[in-house]
């Protein structure tokens, strides 16, 4: 690794300037400029794994992650930043300690990539680009072989992840998190730790995969198809949302909901994960009888 400490305001400005780059808003580029914070984020990442960093940017966090990783895979969408990372980690790339993947993290099949590199499981971390936090988290949660994930996210986004049934912020992401993971809030990071300064504060969060999903259902795909159908039209009652969804057209939804004592006049977003589980299992029974 080049002897250059990236988590500092001067290094960030110098490297951007020298390479004719600018912080791009549309890719959520707010670079960490505080090495103590970068170090304390890295300290939360479990050691000795295949470690994916999403959006490594100029490498401020990557430098502290490197000594903790078995293999550090850097997933960066910006070709200019990926070229800089190649230079910063030239030695580690040559010795295969660092793998630089230039592309969109939403399109990477992490399970398949890890398997190709001989790892049964892995860790994902990063200072996430705020504009796609929710799609990224949904994509990661759908992968089967991560053990832990540690992310810096916008503080409000972190707060929304804790929403419970009935809350206006409660939705598919909350249910996916509850099903797959335990979520911990680690610490806040002030806007002054970034260049350019974002208009929001950030929070470091950790997802730990549950040893088994929070509920047991007949068919996980059917569970999430039911959740999607129920939440797709949030102004409609549960029974109307399910009827209109096109999921299982022949099913008598009022009867099905009555059989599990769920009031079809409720809104989908008032149902708990357990109630969605009951709904999808009742549907499974009907589809298989
Ligand atoms: N990790 C660096 C740091 O802390 O200084 C940069 C973090 S910055 C908030 C987000 C980074 O994610 C940027 O480098 C941006 O180019 C990258 N990025 C944005 N969208 C991405 C995507 N879909 N896939 C991979 N990287 C992405």
**19 CA distance to ligand 1 middle (Å):** 17
If you take atom 23 of ligand 1, which residue's CA is the nearest one?
Answer: 104
Query: pTM to 2 decimals?
Result: 0.96
Closest CA to 66 of 15, 5, 120: 5
**195 CA distance to ligand 1 middle (Å):** 13
175 has a pLDDT exceeding 80? yes
pLDDT grade for 289, boundaries at 50, 70 and 90: confident
Average pLDDT, integer, range 141-153: 98
pLDDT at 278: 98
Looking at the CA of residue 130, tell me the nearest atom of ligand 1: 9
| Pocket mutation for ligand 1, best pick of 15, 41, 77, 82 (most atoms within 8 Å of C-beta) | 77
Cβ atoms < 10 Å from Cβ of 96:
9
């Amino acid at each position: 690794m080049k002897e250059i400490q990236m988590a500092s305001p001067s290094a960030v400005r110098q490297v951007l300037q020298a390479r004719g780059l600018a912080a791009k808003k549309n890719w959520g580029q707010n670079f960490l400029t505080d090495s103590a914070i970068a170090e304390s984020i890295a300290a939360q990442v479990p050691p000795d794994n295949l470690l994916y960093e999403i959006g490594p940017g100029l490498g401020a966090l990557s430098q502290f992650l490197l000594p903790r990783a078995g293999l550090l895979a850097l997933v960066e969408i910006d070709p200019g930043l990926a070229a800089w990372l190649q230079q910063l980690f030239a030695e580690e790339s040559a010795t295969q300690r660092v793998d630089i993947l230039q592309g969109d993290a939403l399109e990477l099949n992490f399970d398949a990539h890890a398997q190709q590199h001989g790892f049964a499981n892995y860790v994902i971390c990063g200072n996430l680009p705020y504009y796609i936090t929710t799609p990224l988290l949904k994509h990661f949660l759908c992968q089967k072989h991560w053990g832990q994930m540690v992310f810096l996210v916008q503080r409000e986004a972190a707060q929304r992840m804790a929403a419970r049934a009935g809350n206006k912020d409660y939705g598919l992401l909350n249910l996916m998190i509850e099903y797959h993971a335990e979520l911990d809030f680690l610490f806040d990071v002030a806007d002054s730790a970034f260049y350019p300064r974002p208009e929001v504060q950030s929070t470091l969060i950790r997802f730990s995969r549950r040893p088994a999903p929070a509920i047991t259902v007949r068919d996980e795909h059917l569970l999430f198809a039911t959740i999607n159908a129920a939440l797709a039209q949030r102004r409609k009652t549960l029974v109307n949302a399910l009827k209109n969804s096109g999921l299982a057209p022949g099913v008598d939804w009022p009867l099905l909901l009555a059989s599990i004592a769920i009031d079809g006049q409720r809104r989908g977003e008032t149902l708990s994960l357990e109630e969605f589980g009951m709904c999808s299992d009742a549907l499974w029974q009907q589809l298989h009888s």
